[in-house]
Copies of this chain bind each other. A is one copy, B any other.
Amino acid sequence: MTELPLSKICEILATQGLPATLDGDDLDVRAVNTLADATRGELSFLSNPKYLPALQDTRASAVIVKDGVPVPDGVTAMRCEDPYTAVTVAIIELHGHRKHPAWGLDTAARIHPSSVIGENPNIGPGVTIAAQTRLGANCTIYPGCYIGDDVHIGDDCTLYPNVVLYDGTRLGNRVAIHAGSVIGEDGLGYAPRDGGWFKIPMIGRAVIDDDVEIGANCAIDRGTLSDTRIGAGTKLGNCNVVGHGTVLGHDCMIVAQVGLAGSVHMGDRVIVKGQSGVSGHLSIGDDAVIGPMSGVANDVPENGNVFGVPATGFTKASRAITALRKLPEALRRLRELEKEVEEVHRRLGKNDI
């Protein structure tokens, strides 16, 4: 177990462009923990103001907070502009990233002789690698993964257990795919014919660029003709579905259970919140934000912020929601008003109008 003095963590933060100052005693800390669960010798943090009361009760020895946030007596404050990023750095320093089991090239992995494996492989039992595949250096392939024909994988990739890459899939460098995700399966491409469905061969590929991380049990279609593509640095959570021929830009965030239909063109740094969907053939501009449980049925411009089903601008959607809550009462008022106007007519003699 690593132990580090707070001052050392401040030094590390400074080298990463995240200057922090100590307000209180310099102490050794051995772990990062939540405000509620931390004990003496642990470092905690406050990022979401919702947890301010927990800060007053914490037993942590030190907390990372913004300037001006009051901390209890006897707790050292490490003050910086972005406590969330700072605590991430502290977690990495104190706990590190996951250490994978070391299989080397396991004898129970089945690798086709025509495939080429890069340096320093870590390939578990029960992995199957089909023909004409190329795997870069330092890749970890957990047990139960299947890598199809003609797949190219870059360096430093991690496939967690039971990941499936269909034939022709391309992964860049430092791609991580969590357990059970499937990349490059056929999309739902059929032509209606004679009252049934006539299967369209999917000759495009799924292409996953550098530094993409994909959660568990996702399904990313191959393209029908042109490739499906996930841009560099984009992150997807669990159980997301990406349709055939859809292209995502770089550094997007797709939360969970999102469905992107086919042939969507999404820009860079787009955020799609949980359980939302985007219809086929739409364009989503750079830096757009799609709210949770929203159904996007029209193009979204750069920096657009949409919500609802069908999704409209966030302010408009919020107003509609507020208005809808008032609607039952408004209908009552409308009926009342109709009666009053009726009464006015009666007094004025409606027939005369």
Residues of A within 8 A of B (CB): 32-34, 36-37, 48, 50, 82, 84-85, 88, 91-92, 95-98, 101, 108, 110, 112, 124-126, 128, 130-131, 142-144, 146, 148-149, 160-162, 164, 166-167, 178-182, 185-188, 190-193, 195-201, 203, 211, 213, 215-219, 221, 225-226, 233, 235, 237-239, 241, 243, 245, 250-251, 253, 255-257, 259, 261, 269, 274-275, 277, 279, 281, 292-293, 295, 309-310, 312, 316, 319-328, 330-331, 333-334, 337-338, 340-341, 343-345, 347-348, 353
Contact = CB atoms under 8 A, between A and B. Distances in A.
A256 to B, nearest CB: 5
A301 to B, nearest CB: 17
Given A34-B226, A197-B235, 6 more contacts: A98-B201, A125-B128, A185-B215, A320-B327, A330-B330, A340-B345
A185 B216 contact: yes
A323 B190 CA distance: 36
Contacts of A108: 110
27 contacts: A34-B245, A84-B191, A98-B201, A124-B128, A126-B128, A128-B144, A128-B161, A160-B164, A178-B219, A180-B217, A180-B219, A185-B215, A188-B215, A188-B256, A195-B251, A195-B269, A217-B217, A217-B239, A238-B241, A239-B239, A259-B274, A277-B293, A320-B328, A327-B327, A330-B330, A337-B338, A341-B341
B201 A97 contact: yes
B125 A200 contact: no
A202 to B, nearest CB: 8
Contact of A162 (B146, B334, B338): B146
A166 B144 contact: no
A325 B341 contact: no
A248 to B, nearest CB: 13
A81 to B, nearest CB: 12
A60 B245 CA distance: 19
Contacts of A128: 124-126, 143-144, 161
